[in-house]
Structure 1
């Protein structure tokens, strides 16, 4: 699986680089730009794959720890949504709804990685003109975060294995992926004493709900 995931974008890079050589004329700039964009997308995909494999290694070696600090949830969510704008398909939108204190006591780095992963999945497995909804609520020292999409959904049988390493649902094998994303999310949540729940219906969509305890005391 790892070999396949690395080989696919590398092949795209080599193919596009070779094709660029065939467009030397000035008036062929649009064709060159199209292949340059494909190269950029492939390199970004490779970076994502590498990050997932490295994350698994760090987690399983015990090198990842939760380091809570004061953070603004509305600000973090907005920044994360900006981070994934490049993944939006035609007509896709992300709706946000945050009702939380201005600052809470959580690990911003781990939470951002969890959010990026969830939003990336939601966009990747949803079609054009679809809506991804992100909601964050805080009550009694607990953050509840939901990411809801209108994507392909996951069968009940496959849902039982989603948090296993390298597992991929059978209806998305044609979409690039390592099968590590939800496994990594679950491990990060363990470090934050949080939990994850997933509800999904084939051809309707998926809703992922995270619950994470937090404190809202000051840094002092």
Structure 2
């Protein structure tokens, strides 16, 4: 009971008000009674004593109101002071200062409000850091291919340029423009997914056939590295956004191909277990270090800088967001030099 009272500002305020009222009345009545007894020693008749005592009681009431009001004013000021401080701090947050923190410890509602305020400023500060980091990463990713395009375009102005160099430079420019196009497409896709919480389009489709079509789309890449594909796909009918879900397989299989060694094997399996689809994509590539494993779903993070020109670092962030939209899970295991295995679990939806 006492703990519940201490956790409520309303209960504490009520108790303080009752305490102040009792104290004010007690002090006022005691003072006026003592004053009455000091000034009058029984020389008054009963009727005169009643009249004088009535006047004293009126003065006692006024004194009680004045004393109680003064004490209540200071008590309310004490209670409202942290609220005023939170209000002023909120104005500073509105100006963009997310470093501000409130120092007020209590178990009541104001204490909880203060804790939530500090949590809010901490999260806003983290978001601001991520925003600046995102802008920095975007600037870097865009600047690199643009600088490359500019440099080779200037070289093409050389009238004595050989045909071989001309072809090489134009191919580089084409590759860099494709990279820019891929980057902008992924950024737009990820921006849209960040504000999407449910699938926009829902229909039944063959998920195993979708994965096979994705493998065919990437045939040029896995054929170039002479990779063997170990494919084991159960017949699965799934309900969802077909184009959106294909991005999962496209990014994961493309990553497996990218990080696989020449003449390696990529394993692509999918099966139904009770109320979910479990897809497993495994490569025998370079693997991911323990340090990098906690960051692979971050935007623009790339495990191997030597492959940075082959991607934008947004693929896994897109995959994770799509899986979350479908209330699914994505896990992975990886060892350096042994390869990486991604496991996607998608629950069946009505």
| TM-score of the pair, normalised by structure 2 | 0.53
CA contact (8 A) 2:197 2:325 kept: no
Deviations 1:12-39 (A, max 9, x none): 33344444455789x93x5544433333
Q: Which runs of 5+ in 2 are unaligned?
A: 1-136
CA contact (8 A) 1:100 1:138 kept: yes
Cα offset for 1:70? 1.4
| TM-score of the pair, normalised by structure 1 | 0.80
CA contact (8 A) 1:94 1:134 kept: no
Q: Give the match for residue 122 of structure 2.
A: none
Cα 1:94–1:49, aligned 2, differ >3 Å: closer, same or farther? farther
Cα 1:38–1:133, aligned 2, differ >3 Å: closer, same or farther? farther
In 2, Cα distance between equivalents of 1:100 and 1:34:
45
Return the structure number with greater strand share. Answer: 1
Cα offset for 1:210? 0.4
In 1, Cα distance between equivalents of 2:338 and 2:147:
33
Is 1:175 aligned to 2:175, yes or no?
no
Is 1:3 aligned to 2:139, yes or no?
yes
Q: Give the match for residue 13 of structure 1.
A: 149
The one of the two structures with greater contact order (alpha-carbon pairs below 8 A, sep at least 6) is 1
Count how many residue pairs are aligned between Structure 1 and Structure 2. 212
Cα offset for 1:61? 2.7
Cα offset for 1:198? 0.4
Which structure has the larger Rg over C-alpha atoms?
A: 2
Is 1:100 aligned to 2:234, yes or no?
yes
In 2, Cα distance between equivalents of 1:38 and 1:186:
31
Is 1:199 aligned to 2:333, yes or no?
yes
CA contact (8 A) 2:205 2:242 kept: yes
Aligned pairs (5 A) from 1:1-220: 1-22=137-158, 28=163, 31-62=165-196, 65-88=199-222, 90-93=224-227, 95-101=229-235, 103-169=237-303, 172-176=304-308, 177-214=311-348
Return the structure number with greater helix share. Answer: 2
Cα 1:99–1:179, aligned 2, differ >3 Å: closer, same or farther? closer
Q: Which runs of 5+ in 1 are unaligned?
A: none
Cα offset for 1:96? 4.9
